[in-house]
Every structure is written in structure tokens, then in C-alpha cells.
């Protein structure tokens, strides 16, 4: 076991930061974690609400990387369930299974729109659109414009706040990847299991909620000579000292660390490095994040709908995704009969929704859950709003150039690693962020030298030398 007298500083106690801390603690490194929130877990934390447990939106776990699977099982032990996934798309008052089932889709769209969808797809195969690196062109070339318009356009524009023509194709390449129209059709027709992450039919879920993974990691760090400072935002980083990089955190004196891992938003990290290249500072100003509004409704009805979550592609509704926590693990309900729903809205920091009072947001959510046909207004007993700033990095066309400029400038600080969804400006799932944590710990311990900026850019780079497998309850 490695034992260093000088601890490693970690900014942020989300999946990336805590995985790094956990792995370093296992190797004998003392770790100091600074977390601005009152709880660990970041966007993957679990909270108590109305006598039940809920996550901050849907957070399934699925990975084909054996390193991540081993780590997850090591922490969760046997306290999980295998959940049968059911997700549907809500479009103009109707529900479509996702992945799309062709006969159902054709029937519900009607002969006219169904025929248009098929002809549009075939047209793209004969005469593909010339791609300009936009999300819209990427999807249209693989599914046709009609299916793009009905099942991709509205949701994506709600999430990002920009048109599909302004959105970089990286969002599609990372989330949809090599999925094709025929893959979706094949699984829809024959029920064949898919190797594509977007189509997996089961996933693993801890019985106490996703946040238990990160609470247990934090407990392990504390038990192994580490410290976790909650309600402690980092206000400044101090460079240029021979003692390493200094962290100036709220309520604490400046502490210097020979190595720091940052998961704070990349744009904020740049702001806190005043000696950074001015070109990088200008690049950071061109990057932006979307905020999330989570509106929870307590509904006096045990069996509302069977989905784990629903994507709302109806442009008449402002909500983008609806999660039903009763359909994840029964332990979350803690014996209660009510259902807790989470309605997700996305907005810019200056947007109307972000400034709206909580009471108005709850009324909006109640109105829209009724409009979607998912609940009766008289059954809604209570509401709760949670605002999450800067949680989705906006993949606006040209963003990669700005990130590359910042990454290059950060090479001036070899003892500073930027990882995680926020820290590396990547639309990570839990497994991507956990992988970044694993790899950063290997970099620090000298076990290997990984290019962390490539994770979730070319995820296969970190899988190709390992036998992949999926984990089950066995």
C-alpha cells in the first residue's frame, strides 16, 4: 500500500471525484474532498422525500467495461436489483415504445405519416444529406428527416435550447453511436437482444437508490485517512508555488496539494486559474451549460404507468422527461402507497423557467402531467422543486475547438487533472465518469499514463484491450 504524507486534493464529490478518491484510498493515499453541496453524489445522489427515496432524475447503471463493473459490485455488494427497463416516447398524446417498434410506430403514426417515415428513410439511403457536423444531419442520414422530426428534434431542442443544426453531432455520436434504423427495427420486430447501450432491456439499480454508491465510497475514504468537507465550495486555486497548487475553500485556510483532481465545471476552473493562457480564458467564455429544474410531484395513486421514465417529444409540453420512481426498486417506496414523479425541465441560467417561483413551477408540472394523460390533478398531493445549475455541457457546433484550447493550456499544470461531466465538458453517463476516476487514480499512482480527455470521446480506446462482459445478479 502506498502511503503519502501529503494528501491528494479533490474538488467535487460526484461519481468522478469519489471514484478517484475511493481508488486512491485503496492504494493508501490520504485524500481531501471539497464538496459545495450538503451531500455527496452530485447529480447521482439520492434524497429523502415524503417518506420515500428518489434520485435526481433517472440514473440507471449499465457498462460493458469489466473494470467499472467490478468496482460497482465491490461497493454495492449484493444490495441491488436487476430492473427490466421500459421507456416510451410521448408524442402528440400517444406513447411509442423505445426502441421504436415498427408496426406499432406505423400504426400510431397512421398510414400517411408512417409511409412518409419509410420513404424518407429510403431517400436518405439513396441520396444522403451532405453532413455539416450537425446533430440534425447526423440523425437524418441514419433515420430520415420524418423520424428525426418526430422522435429526435423536439426533445433535443428542449434539452439544449438550440436547434439541431446548431448542435454538434457529438451528442448523437456519443448517445446514439452506431445505432441504425435497421437495428431498432430488428429488435422491435424480433425482440432480439441488442449490444447497443441505448437499447439495453435491463439495468442494475441499488435498492437504496443510486446515491448509496457514492455515500459508501465517501465512508470508505473517511475510514482510510481521508476527509470529506461538505458545504465547502472552492473559491480559488493558487498556482505558482513550489508547494503545489493551493485550494482556497470557503471557511478554510489555503491548503497546498502536490496533485489536484477537479470535477468543477470546466468554465469555472478556468476562472479560478488567473495565470492561465488568455486564449484559454476566451475559449471558456464560448462554452455554456444548461440548468435543470426537477419538479417532484407526490401522487395519490400507486399504479400510474409502467415506465421507468418517459421522453416527452410533444412540442406542446415544456417538460422533457418524466421519471416514475415506483417502477425502479420497491425499497425506494419505503412501504408508501403514493407515487413520486419527477418532471425535468431544462433552461439557460437567464431563462424564464429558472426565474419562475417554485409554486408556479409546481402548478406547471401539475398541468402538464394531466395534459400528458399520466395523472389526475386531484391526485397530486404535494410538490417539490430542486434546481441544479450547470449540469449539461452544451455541445454547440465548434465547442470541441474551445475545449481543446483549454485542455492544451491546462498542460501547464501537470499536477491538475480535470475529469467528470462538468470538469471535462463531456456528456457523461455514470460509467464514463467512474472510468475517469479510475484512470485518474492510475495516473496519480504512476500505474499508467492515460489521456483523460479521450474518455467518452473515443470510449472504445479504453475497452478494446479488455474482455467486455455484462454483470448480473449471479
Thinking of the domain 8-84+207-287+396-462, which architecture would CATH place it in?
A: 3-Layer(bba) Sandwich (3.50)
By three-state DSSP, how is residue 333 classified? helix
- Among 121, 126, 168, 128, residue whose Cα is nearest residue 145: 121
Supply the pLDDT for residue 152: 87
Query: Residue written as cell 462554452?
Result: 287
- Among 314, 310, 304, 299, residue whose Cα is nearest residue 371: 314
Supply the pLDDT for residue 456: 61
Question: What residues in the chain have per-residue pLDDT under 50?
Answer: 1-3, 178-183, 185-199, 458-474
End-to-end CA distance of the chain: 31
Q: In Å, how far are 122, 204, 231, 295, 306 from 83, measured between CA atoms? A: 36, 6, 34, 24, 12
Q: Which three cell numbers stand for residue 86?
A: 421500459
**Separation between Cα atoms, residue 393 and residue 358, nearest integer Å:** 24
By three-state DSSP, how is residue 468 classified? coil
For the domain bounded by 289-393, which CATH number is listed?
3.90.660.20
Domain borders along the chain are 8-84+207-287+396-462, 102-187, 289-393
Q: In Å, how far are 67, 70, 79, 80 from 471, measured between CA atoms? A: 11, 9, 14, 12
Amino acid at each position: 500500500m502506498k502511503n503519502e504524507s501529503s494528501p491528494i486534493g479533490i474538488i467535487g464529490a460526484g461519481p468522478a471525484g469519489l471514484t478517484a478518491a475511493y481508488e486512491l484510498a485503496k492504494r493508501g493515499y490520504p485524500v481531501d474532498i471539497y464538496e459545495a453541496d450538503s451531500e455527496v453524489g452530485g447529480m447521482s445522489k439520492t434524497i429523502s422525500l415524503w417518506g420515500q427515496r428518489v434520485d435526481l432524475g433517472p440514473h440507471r447503471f449499465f457498462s460493458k467495461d469489466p473494470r467499472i463493473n467490478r468496482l460497482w459490485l465491490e461497493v454495492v455488494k449484493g444490495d441491488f436489483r436487476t430492473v427490466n427497463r421500459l421507456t416510451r416516447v410521448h408524442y402528440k398524446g400517444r406513447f411509442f415504445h423505445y426502441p421504436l417498434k415498427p408496426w406499432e410506430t406505423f400504426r400510431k403514426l397512421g398510414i400517411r405519416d408512417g409511409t412518409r417515415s419509410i420513404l424518407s428513410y429510403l431517400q436518405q439511403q439513396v441520396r444522403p444529406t451532405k453532413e455539416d457536423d450537425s446533430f440534425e444531419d447526423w440523425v437524418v442520414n441514419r433515420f430520415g428527416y420524418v423520424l428525426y422530426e418526430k422522435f429526435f428534434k423536439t426533445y433535443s431542442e428542449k434539452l439544449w435550447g438550440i436547434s439541431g443544426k446548431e448542435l454538434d453531432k457529438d451528442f448523437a455520436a456519443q448517445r446514439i453511436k452506431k445505432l441504425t434504423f435497421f437495428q431498432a427495427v430488428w429488435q422491435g420486430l424480433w425482440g432480439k437482444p441488442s449490444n447497443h447501450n441505448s437499447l439495453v432491456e435491463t439495468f442494475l439499480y441499488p435498492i437504496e437508490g443510486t446515491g448509496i454508491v457514492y455515500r459508501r465510497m465517501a465512508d470508505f475514504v473517511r475510514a482510510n485517512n481521508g476527509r470529506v468537507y461538505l458545504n465547502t465550495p472552492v473559491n480559488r486555486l493558487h498556482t505558482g508555488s513550489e508547494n503545489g497548487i493551493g485550494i482556497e475553500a470557503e471557511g478554510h485556510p489555503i491548503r497546498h496539494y502536490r496533485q489536484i483532481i477537479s470535477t468543477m465545471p470546466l468554465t469555472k476552473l478556468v476562472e479560478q486559474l488567473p495565470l492561465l493562457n488568455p486564449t484559454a480564458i476566451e475559449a471558456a467564455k464560448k462554452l455554456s451549460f444548461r440548468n435543470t429544474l426537477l419538479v417532484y410531484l407526490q401522487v395519490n395513486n400507486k399504479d400510474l404507468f409502467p415506465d421507468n421514465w418517459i421522453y416527452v417529444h410533444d412540442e406542446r409540453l415544456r417538460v422533457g422527461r418524466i421519471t416514475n420512481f415506483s417502477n425502479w426498486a420497491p425499497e425506494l417506496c419505503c412501504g408508501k402507497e403514493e407515487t413520486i414523479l419527477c418532471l425535468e425541465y431544462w433552461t439557460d441560467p437567464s431563462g424564464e423557467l429558472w426565474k419562475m417561483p417554485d409554486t408556479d413551477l409546481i402548478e406547471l408540472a401539475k398541468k402538464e402531467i394531466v395534459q400528458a394523460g399520466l395523472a389526475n390533478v386531484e391526485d397530486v398531493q404535494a410538490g417539490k422543486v430542486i434546481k441544479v445549475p450547470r449540469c449539461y455541457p452544451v455541445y454547440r457546433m465548434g465547442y470541441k475547438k474551445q475545449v481543446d484550447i483549454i485542455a492544451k493550456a491546462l498542460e501547464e499544470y501537470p499536477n491538475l487533472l480535470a475529469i467528470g461531466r462538468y470538469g471535462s465538458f463531456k456528456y457523461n453517463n455514470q460509467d464514463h465518469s467512474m472510468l475517469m476516476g479510475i484512470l485518474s487514480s492510475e495516473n496519480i499512482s504512476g500505474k499508467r499514463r492515460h489521456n483523460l480527455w479521450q474518455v467518452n470521446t473515443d470510449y472504445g480506446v479504453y475497452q478494446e484491450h479488455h474482455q467486455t462482459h455484462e454483470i448480473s445478479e449471479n
